[in-house]
Structure 1
Amino acid sequence: MTTHVVCSRCGKQRPADEDPLRALSWVADRDSGELRWLCPGCARAHVRDIEGKLPNEYW
């Protein structure tokens, strides 16, 4: 079974045969029980938003 991974910001689709190291650069986020993905480009562009979701205990 192949899972299609699509960036929730730009709609880019991760190729099923993508290099495993590049596949690791995709970011998964669970919001209200829904799994969402960010491609590497969107993850870099929105890193401050991602860090803002971290609990205070992390810092």
Structure 2
Amino acid sequence: MSEDAEPMVCATCGRLPEEESAARLTWARGREGDRVVWTCEECSRRHLRSIEGKLDSAWW
């Protein structure tokens, strides 16, 4: 199954992008185990230090 088969959804707040092609430029993409997770630009800004410190999202 391709990573693109899953819809983009913010793993933190559940937000869906208005336009997926634009969101691919502004949202943060990460991996938790075997799954790809997306974080919207608002949550990315709010949790920037945790993301850069590679803390598990359960800690934020």
TM-score (norm 1): 0.71
Is the helix fraction higher in 1 or 2? 2
How many positions carry a matched residue from both structures? 52
Instruction: Report the RMSD for the aligned CA atoms in angstroms.
Output: 2.4
SS of structure 2 residue aligned to 1:29: strand
The CA distance in 1 between the partners of 2:39 and 2:20, in whole Å, is 17
The one of 4, 10, 13 aligned to 2:13: 10
The answer to whether the 8 A contact 2:27-2:41 is kept is yes
Q: Which runs of 5+ in 2 are unaligned?
A: 56-60
TM-score (norm 2): 0.70
Q: Equivalent residue for 2:58?
A: none
Q: Tell me the amino acid that sits aligned with residue 26 of structure 2.
A: S
Q: Equivalent residue for 1:57?
A: none
Q: Which runs of 5+ in 1 are unaligned?
A: 55-59
Q: Equivalent residue for 1:34?
A: 35
Identity %: 37
The answer to whether the 8 A contact 1:4-1:14 is kept is no
Which consecutive aligned stretches of 4+ in structure 1 deviate over 6 angstroms post-superposition? none
